[in-house]
Amino acid sequence: MKTKIYSLISPLILLYLFLASQNVYGQIQLISPNGGETWVNGANEFVTYTYSGNPTYLTVEYSSDNGVSYEIIDYVYTIQGTTQVPVFVNFSITSLARIRVAEYNSNPLLFDESDNAFSVVNPAYFFNSPYYGDHYYQGFTILANWYASHNEPTDLSFSSDNGETWTLIASGITGNSHVFDAPEVESTQCKLRASITGNPDAFADSYIFTISPPPVFTLVSPNGGEFWTYNELETVTWTGENLPDYVALDYSLDGGVSWTTLWYSYSSPTGGSDQIVVPQAASSNAKLRVRDPNIPSAADESDNVFTIYTPPYIFYSPQAEDRYYANQPIEVSWYSFEIGNVDVAVSTDGGTTFETVATNVYSQNYGSAVINAPSIPSDNCVVKLSNSSDPSIFTLSPVFEVVETPVLTLISPNGGEILDQNTEFEIKFEYSGEILYFTYLQIDFSSDNGQNWQALEYIYLPGGAESFVWQTPEISSGECLIRLTDYYYPFITATSASTFTIEDFPDLQICMVGVDTTSGKNMIAWNKPISNLISEYVVLKEGNISNQYTEIAAVPVDAPAVFIDETSNPRVKATRYKVTFRDSAGNLYPSESYHQTIHLTISKGVGDVWNLIWSPYVGFDVESYNIYRGSTPSDMQMIGTVSGNFNSYSDFDAASGFVYYMVEVVNPNNCNPGGERSLSLNSSMSNIATNYSVGFEENNLSASLSAYPNPVSENLRIRLPGLNSSSVQLQIFDSKGALVLEKSISTSDLSSGYLMDVSDLPSGIHALVIRSSEGNAAMRFIRK
């Protein structure tokens, strides 16, 4: 081990020396190569060293310039003791080679290197062949080929035991190659050695190769008499001795005179088998051969001939398991071994019966014909090609399937519609039935009754919604059509049943809907755009089914743009309205936007508190709701305001007795429907809700009032004890607040339980009210 002396000893080095003296770090001693050796390129050598210390990683490094610079050639995990590291010599020629072994990580100062330089030289010979793993058979030719770094004659020797013993093959060879027959040995440890004639120490060895007895093949099948059909799978089987890893399979159509390679297969040393696709050929004089790919003479062929059958027509389409729609155009294509035109027939029962669909179709080697798939779905369809001149010459296609054709239906626009320019319109359709693979629907538009078409969109199916939102163009035309087409199956298509119209609609908008304070009915008001297209305004009302509107009025174009719905009942529910128009031809134009009235209900809270709940106004953005209260419907005062985000209010300051409520919303866009009452309409009113029909002030008398049975069909027994007056007034109101019965009764009858016949009352909820000088009492009952 060398000792390195530095003129300036750093603190790090001092620390290392101290630790080394404490035996913390290990030691490395390089044993070989340590100077004077000669390494030959292409040979395997060893670097040998000893190490003491904890296990660690060391680097093995090589220098070609006497240690000025090093390159790492290996990393070695090392424990204590002596280690040999194999090195394949492949360096530049030098006489200044050195090896260094050093610790990889923790201590860069721990290493040892060759004491003196050694040499790296090229070998006297370098073998190109045999190469590593080559396999030769006894008695077959071996080509020995080498590179020599000199011009001396060469001796060539052979070893079958990896160089333990040698036999001279040839001496004094001039040139760089020699051909000889493989010896009668069987070994996997064969080598050749080339040496300078007269100087056996100047030599080089080849890679290890193998010599074995030549392969013996026996073809088992096909061995004669078989019948093979084009494009089907058949099994080839063989046995043998000393067979290679791969074998070649050849076929002959002329009894073995000429051969064509068909396939290469794996093999074991004693045989194998493989499935092959029967080639496109026809012969009753066929043979098959199995052979060594590198030694043609090592082979065996069928003992007798067999038959390869190829039908007169080979189908390219349809193929097995193909699927088509009923009546779909199918391209039948084929290769023909028969010269002459063909007839095409189709069967839906697997070939029992046929229908001829094309005759005398031109066929010269390759042929094709477009036919329509059968109209009846079947999973047992077959196409038949036959020679037009000789029907006995024919071929059947593989079995394919025909399924029901999907139905593409255009729902809208399907004719007669009138659409606004530059607005969104939902094109709706249905695609029912089985989709074979996947497809796209192409949507086209025509503004000239189908003379020209413009592609709008492609919709992926399946999985897509059966609709498409279309932005209508800025054109005016009464000859518009929409067409849907399956992109891959264009025979599946649907077009608008008749033309529709695209116009520039006037901007007709509802201003407001609400309750007319004069009539108590719903009132609808709208703006009046200037347009020659409008002949009359049409008011639409939603019924009891969502989004179903019925025409309830036609208002002349020169009349005020206001309509009172006399059939409405604002006290019962909110109502939605739309307004549209007709042109002079009687066409009713569509309307999408609606307005909805406010419906107000009230309920009794504790004491004199009344709770208001209303349905929100729909039609414009509501900033706030104004709350009105009065003792009569004609005397209403605003008592509060809530945000347009809410639809409830509680009145804590209501007086005892009858009370009336109303909700108002102010239209941010003032509306003047053309002189109605000479005033502009700027607010919408709800219905007026009152306790007159739903209950009265709560007091002790109401708590003592009882009526049973409830519900009742005929006789209602009413009881209210504790009154001091001699008589009271009994009143019954229906659910709309109308007085339906009134009479005077004695307090003694009422105290003991007054029996009243209510069989004449209509079914529904009623309010029972007892009025006396001591106060009023009220409750609800139900007439069945």
Which pLDDT value is given to residue 595? 95
Superfamily of domain 125-212: Immunoglobulins (2.60.40.10)
Cβ 777 vs Cβ 747: under 8 Å: no
At residue 215, the pLDDT reads: 93
* From the candidate CATH numbers 3.60.150.10, 3.40.50.2300, 3.20.20.70, 2.60.40.10, the one assigned to the domain spanning 505-695: 2.60.40.10
Q: Report CA 22 to chain centroid distance, whole Å.
A: 69
Q: How much is the pLDDT for 463?
A: 59
**Which architecture does CATH list for 27-121?**
Sandwich (2.60)
CA–CA separation, 433 and 437 (whole Å): 12
CATH number of the structural domain 700-783: 2.60.40.3080
Give the pLDDT score at 365.
84
Give the DSSP H or E segment for 328. Answer: none
Strand ranges, E, within 337-412: 342-347, 355-361, 366-372, 378-387, 394-396, 400-403, 407-412
CA distances in angstroms from 558 to 530, 531, 554, listed in the order given: 11, 12, 12
Look up the CATH architecture of domain 216-309.
Sandwich (2.60)
Per-block mean pLDDT, blocks of 10 residues, the chain (784 long): 38 45 69 95 92 93 96 94 94 96 85 96 92 90 93 96 96 95 95 95 92 94 95 95 94 96 95 94 94 90 95 92 94 89 96 96 90 95 96 94 94 93 93 85 96 93 78 95 94 95 90 82 88 93 94 90 89 94 90 92 87 94 93 84 95 83 85 51 85 50 80 88 85 77 89 89 82 79 78
The whole-angstrom separation of Cα 424 and Cα 114 is 89
Q: How far apart are the C-alpha atoms of 739 and 725, rounded to whole Å?
A: 24
**CATH code linked to domain 407-502:** 2.60.40.730
Give the number of residues written for the chain.
Answer: 784
For the chain, the domains span: 27-121, 125-212, 216-309, 313-403, 407-502, 505-695, 700-783
Same topology, domains 27-121 and 216-309? Answer is: yes
Under CATH, to which class is 313-403 assigned? mainly beta
Indicate the pairing of strand 600-604 with strand 595-596: unpaired
pTM of the model as a whole:
0.50
- pLDDT for 700 equals 56
* Helix, strand, coil percentages, rounded to 5, for the chain: 5, 55, 45
Task: Give, as one character, the DSSP assignment of residue 57.
Answer: E
Q: Which residues contact 76 (CB under 8 A, 6 or more apart)?
A: 57, 58, 59, 60, 83, 85
The two structure tokens encoding residue 394: 């024919």
